[in-house]
Structure 1
Amino acid sequence: MKKYSLLLISLIAFTACNRKDTANSLIQGKVEREEIAVVSKVPGRILKINFNEGDQVKKGDTLAILDIPEVDAKKAQAQGAVKSADAQYAMSVRGATANQLKQLDAKRNALKEQYDFAKKSLSRIQAMVSDSLVPQQQYDEVYAKYQGALAQYTAVEAEIADVKNGVRIEQQTMALGQKDRALGALQEVQTAEKERYIIAPQDMTLESITLKVGELALPGYTLFTGSLKSSTYFRFTVPESKIEQYKKGEQIEVTIPYQDNKKIEGTIRNVKQIGAYANIATAYPDYNMQDALYEITVEPKNIAEASELFSKSTVTINKK
């Protein structure tokens, strides 16, 4: 019995040592992907969510729809302002209406009759004044009426010319500016109206959805986070004493333990110093405390081969 116990202890010790040696010969890392955040630009309540966490979405897909009642009210106001400004500008360009022109024509005809009569009266009385048949005072009265009729007739002619040619160019410019301002306000509302649709900016996998239907989304709040499959890479942590052995551009073989130690060829894309302990990719890093730590990023040669790997899953490379 004692013999078997010693054999079992020896076997366990051998296995532990073998595992330790194997672990010491490997550098662990993680599968990483670039992440993207989708935020709201205008405040509104979540009306509908079209996808679930883990779904693959395409660029341009509508992820969610917001309920923004304030935009509808502002849109109605802006449309009314555009109609009003458009009518004012049209009126300034076209001048008087047909009925107004008829009224002015009738007024001109009446004043023309008065002017013609005053002119004839002045011609008659001039001859009578020359023959001393009427006093000068009577002549002066007829002449004053003639001048008054001439002034009124000249004024109505100028008024008709104005309305036919439209109002002053300055007034037309002012009306056009009001129209442009109203159109700008309408375009602003229409832009805000489009923001009720939360659109996927890229092809991605939805990692998290932060709000539910009925909850309020504030401007700048992250509604969705997604990972980009095309950006898959591997990240390893190496101490300063070993960093010289890994060169940028070097070809390296990455092992995927959870896929029966599947091998994926990759290229060292970058080597940089790690500024925070939380960024260490190795579960149990073997390094001296005085050593600086560096991050090695490895880009797979075949992106499609690595695109289905789970984010944050463990990968390994052989220690040099």
Structure 2
Amino acid sequence: MKPHFLPILTLSTLWLTSCQPDQPRTNELEGKVKKETVGVTAKVPGRITQLLVKEGDVVTKGQILARIDIPEAEAKLLQAQGAFTSAKAQYQMALRGATPNERRQADAALTAAREQADLAEKSFKRVQHMYQDSLISAQQYDEMQAKYGSARAQLNGTQAKRDEVDGRIRAERIRMAYGDMLRAEGALKEVQAAIREKVIVAPQAMTIESISLHEGELAPAGYTVMTGYDNTRTYLRFTVSEKEVGPFKKGEVYTVRLPYAPNQSVTARLVTVKELSAYAARTTSYPTYELGEATYELKLVPTDPSQQDNLLSNQTVLLPRR
């Protein structure tokens, strides 16, 4: 064959290919089984000491999945307990007032101050007469007068202290002590809550899919240690074009076939018809949509909850077209 015949042959081949009829459309929509993903995270940072599950295990709500070590929490617990004990004692002391021993100490201090003031008064009177008779200097007189005034001031202060011991406690002081106690109690509860997080439990019944961290590794706060599937929230997802979505009605029950499990089917109820705005979201195996045609997602839920356990995530399912 000569070279100048090649373009003509190529054009003929393209023309014949374009004239081929479209691939026949199947009578079933292809979809996938989807399960809600559950992430299990560590609330406080710590090192994983023990893993109690492995991938593929089915766990129940509240089951312990792993244990982590938080050595700093033990020291903080002792500090918080000491602070709470001290603050509670201060509040109780503010409520009850002075003790009998404190009252006796105040009485003794008042008696001593009164005797000192009496002695200073007598000494000052003697010095005063001696000063009038010019027997002492003015400096000595001023010094004795100052000592007498200091003794009187000491007596007044001790008397006020004694009156405070016997008197009523200020409400502000009680509220201040109560606030300190509440603050210390809150810090204690915070540490106790952190210690309870030494075990990681399953938030709900699920199947463990993957484990991100293993024994000896450090788990940061909020890091997903493992993920799983919630078997109670399984749905079947199909994508249909705008021209085909009309016959599907919410609330109706459909029979969905499992192509790779002969003679097995699932009855499911259509619960959601949602438009897909992005073309990349179309997952059909037969992209025969026209330009500008909208696509919709059909979301079906098995009517029999017991059938959800037998469905695997991303398993292919087929729905008859209407």
Tell me whether the two structures share a fold, i.e. TM-score over 0.5.
yes
Partner of 1:176: 178
Instruction: Decide which moves more: 170-179 or 98-107.
Output: 98-107
AA aligned opposite 2:207: T
How far the C-alpha of 1:255 sits from its partner, in A, is: 0.7
Deviation at 1:260, TM superposition (A): 1.4
Displacement, 1:95? 4.3
Q: What secondary structure sits across from 2:62 in the alignment? A: coil
> Percent identity at matched positions?
43
Aligned position for 1:30: 32
Q: How many residues align?
A: 283
Aligned letter for 2:310? E
Residue 317 (structure 1) aligns with? 319
- Structure 2 residue aligned with 1:235: 237
In structure 1, the residue matched to 2:205 is 203
Gap runs ≥5 in structure 2? 1-22, 123-128, 134-144
**Amino acid of the residue matched to residue 34 of structure 2?**
E
Any idea what the Cα deviations from partners look like across 1:73-109, whole Å, max 9, x if unmatched?
2222222222332333344444445444334444555
- Identify the residue that residue 56 of structure 1 maps to in structure 2: 58
Query: Is the 1:94–1:165 Cα contact (8 Å) retained in structure 2?
Result: no
AA aligned to 2:192 is Q
Match of residue 288 from structure 1 = 289
Post-superposition Cα deviations, 1:43-93, rounded to whole Å, max 9, x if no partner, equal 222122221111111111222222222222222222222233233334444
- TM-aligned CA deviation for residue 310 of structure 1: 1.2
Paired residue type of 2:59: V
SS at match of 2:260: helix
Q: Quick check: 272-281 or 208-217, which moved more?
A: 272-281
Larger helix proportion of the pair:
1
Q: Give RMSD over aligned pairs.
A: 3.5
Query: Are the equivalent residues in 2 in contact too, given 1:238–1:293 (CA < 8 A)?
Result: yes
CA contact (8 A) 1:93 1:166 kept: no
Other structure's SS at 1:79 match: helix
Preserved CA contact (<8 Å) 1:75 1:189: yes
Q: 2: distance between equivalents of 1:48 and 1:164?
A: 61
Query: Helix, strand or coil for the counterpart of 1:65?
Result: strand
1:126-175 Cα distance to aligned partner (Å, 9 max, x none): xxxxxxxx99x89xxxxx9x999998777655533422447544333323
- Whole-angstrom distance in 2 between the partners of 1:91 and 1:306: 63
With the length of structure 1 as denominator, give the TM-score of the two structures.
0.73
Provide the TM-score with structure 2 as the length reference. Answer: 0.73
Q: Provide the C-alpha distance between the structure 1 equivalents of 2:260 and 2:28, rounded to a whole number of angstroms.
A: 15
